[in-house]
A = this chain, B = another copy of it.
Amino acid sequence: MTADPVPSRRPGAAGDPVPVHRPGAAGDPVPVHRPGATGDPAPARRSRRHDPGRRDRLIDATLRVIAERGVAGTTHREIARAADVPLGSMTYHFGSLDEVLAEAFTRHAEAAAKVFDERLGAATDRDGAIEAVITLVRDDLLGSPDDLVLAVELYVAAARNPALRAVTQGWMQRSRRALERHFDPTTAREVDALIEGLVLHSALSTDPMTPDQIRHAIERYLR
């Protein structure tokens, strides 16, 4: 865990997006993966060269590992195992573990913000916006426990790592901005905080709030 200078070596020194590799065949999902039905011993020697989209799959795998084992349990080896790629592939695609984490969290925050935008963008009046907020919390946020764990993990990681703090900031800003399309800035900020609290409490409570209770809390505040 070091966020020092020098993003590390890596082939494509100057800023090209994907590490290197040429265009090649079209990017079908999961190019090779598990051999199919082989005996357990002898892990087999698969041709795995030229796998475009591997970097993306690595980030997906990272999010899965974080949700399952927490940031503390997220290692190069664990991610590589989850994505079924060799360990060396990690240092090839990413300069450091911090870089992987930051990119994974960025992607997650991006996706979450998108849901926020969509839900609230569909509303045309204030009542619709209130319904949208309720749906958002009840179905999207509380509906996927993995996302919830990811959020908490992101919070605590952000408390320590400035690069991640920027991600958290951006996320918060975007959700607040979405709320401001329907409510005044003060209300937006307060509702945002309320949502945060409701989600967190529900996530950690053995006696989680019911959908009706969620609805009640939000309506009480907004009406």
**Which A residues lie at the B interface, using CB under 8 A?**
1, 69-73, 149, 152-153, 155-156, 158-160, 165, 168-169, 172, 186, 189-190, 192-198, 200-201, 203-206, 209, 213, 216-217, 220-221
Contact = CB atoms under 8 A, between A and B. Distances in A.
Count this chain's copies in the assembly: 2
Contact of A193 (B73, B152, B189, B201): B201
B169 A189 contact: no
A201 B172 contact: yes
A217 B190 contact: yes
A139 to B, nearest CB: 18
A222 to B, nearest CB: 10
Contact of A197 (B71, B73, B149, B197): B197
Given A1-B73, A193-B198, A220-B221, 12 more contacts: A1-B72, A71-B72, A149-B159, A153-B156, A159-B204, A169-B205, A172-B201, A172-B205, A189-B209, A194-B194, A194-B197, A197-B197
A192 B203 CA distance: 14
A201 B192 contact: yes
Contacts of A69: 160
Select the residue from A1, A194, A220 with max chain B CB neighbours within 10 A. Answer: A194
A201 B216 CA distance: 22
- By secondary structure, the A interface counts as helix
Contacts of A216: 186, 190
Contact of A155 (B156, B172, B193): B156
Given A152-B156, A155-B204, A200-B200, A193 B172 contact: no
A70 B196 contact: no
Contacts of A159: 70, 149, 152-153, 203-204
Contacts of A158: 204
A7 to B, nearest CB: 22
Contacts of A204: 155, 158-159, 165, 168-169, 172
